[in-house]
Amino acid sequence: MKKEEIYNEAVSGDEGFVPGEGYPSCDGEPCANVSDAADDATDTMTDDEPAAEDDAAKALEEAVAHWQDKFVRLQAEFDNYRKRTLKEKMELVQTGGRDVLLAMLPVRDDVQRAVDAMQKSDDLEALRAGVTLISQKFTEALRQKGVTEIEVLDREFDADLSEAVAKFAAGGKEVKKKDLGAIAMSYGYIYVAQVAMGYDQAQTLKAIREAESYPGPAIVIAYCPCLEHGIKAGMSCTQEEMKKAVECGYWHLYRYDPRRIAEGKNPFQLDSPEPDTDKLMDYLMGENRFASLKNNFPERAEELYQQEIAELKARYARYRKMADEQ
């Protein structure tokens, strides 16, 4: 079929052919058979195409095999790393305090000898010198374990240097919890989302994608349990803890995308269901930061518990109203 098309084009092009007038001339002699050359090129290309496809398929198979092998090796290395770190952690828990206690025993003996000396001697200067030596010995024992004194007096406070951590008020918090998302949404041009991966992974990924694509400032507020929360089930159950927080209404899921305004849509989308406040107490008692309040101040805890239920319902009602606006 290709040869016929090329031949026909050559014939039709020869009509009225005059050497030197718009066509290549070969000094009056017929030019080389262009159609035959084209046939050869076409046949060559046709023959090469399957070979090129085979090479590409082979290269793809080799690349897939390479990355599969690399993935298997990486997975094996990670599994070994996980087992090794777990073993080290267990050994640390079992023996971590032993060395420190052994280093403190000589100091304890010195303190006991000083107490005994106080019963037998009235020489205050000798007793003072002995206690000073015990203090120096104790400081040296700590230094050998990597505990050293840092200079912070009359200096600007540095939270990183002092390794300061947040502590929760044992008597309960008197004021309402700040709604950082609502504050950010009030500006009108900031993308804001509140997520909890343990409750809805799809909503979390959607919020991150939308925030990344938003041509302006974007904030994604995530519920992230930490050690200071004192989760009784352990940090291995953080995903379940997120789920409980959303179900009881302690944490709400939503997305605020200003781009929807230009489309004539409500920019606020509420992604979490109406909370089941009957589950709130179970969630609160599962974390020591809340359970300690009930243990130490039971009457105050009950009062704050009822206030929290009212606040959770009111906050969800506000979000529901925002989502229903047209």
Domain ranges of the chain: 98-144, 180-324
pLDDT at position 281 over 60: yes
Considering only 86-95, 108-117, 124-133, 274-283, which range has the smallest mean pLDDT? Answer: 86-95
Among 84-93, 135-144, 182-191, which range has the highest average pLDDT? Answer: 182-191
**Predicted pLDDT of residue 290:** 80
The pLDDT of residue 319 is above 50: yes
In terms of average pLDDT, the best of 12-26, 65-79, 143-157, 308-322 is 308-322
How are the residues of the chain apportioned to helix, strand and coil, as percentages rounded to the nearest 5? 65, 5, 30
CATH topology (fold) of 180-324 = Rossmann fold (3.40.50)
C-alpha–C-alpha distance, residues 148 and 142, integer Å? 7
Neighbours of 107 (CB within 10 A): 17
pLDDT at 263: 93
Q: What is the pLDDT of residue 276?
A: 93
pLDDT of residue 208: 95
Please report the beta strands in the chain, taking only residues with DSSP state E, as ranges in sequence order.
191-195, 218-222, 254-256, 268-270
Between 62 and 154, whose confidence is greater? Answer: 62
pLDDT digit string, tens, across residues 201-226: 999 999 999 999 999 999 999 999 88
Choose the most confident range, by mean pLDDT, from 24-33, 81-90, 137-146, 152-161: 137-146
Confidence of residue 27 (pLDDT cuts 50, 70, 90): low
Contacts of 105 (CB under 8 A, 6+ apart): none
57: number of Cβ within 10 Å: 10
Chain-centre distance for alpha carbon 158: 26
pLDDT at 1: 46
In the predicted structure, residue 45 carries a pLDDT above the cut 80: no
Q: At 246, is the pLDDT very low, low, confident or very high (cuts 50, 70, 90)?
A: very high
pLDDT for position 170: 47
Q: Determine the average pLDDT of the residues in 31-40.
A: 51
Task: Give the C-alpha separation, 54 to 293, whole Å.
Answer: 71
Q: pLDDT (tens digit, 9 = 90+) per residue, 114-131?
A: 888 888 888 888 888 888
pLDDT category of residue 100 using cuts at 50, 70 and 90: confident
Q: What is the DSSP string of 150-167?
A: ---TTS---HHHHT----
Tell me what the mean pLDDT of segment 176-203 comes to: 92
Residues whose CB is less than 8 angstroms from the CB of residue 233 and which lie 6 or more positions away in sequence, other chains included: 240, 241, 286
DSSP-assigned beta bridge partners for residue 231:
287
Give me the chain's average pLDDT, please.
80
| Statement: the pTM of the whole predicted model exceeds 0.75 | no
For residue 6, the model assigns a pLDDT of: 46
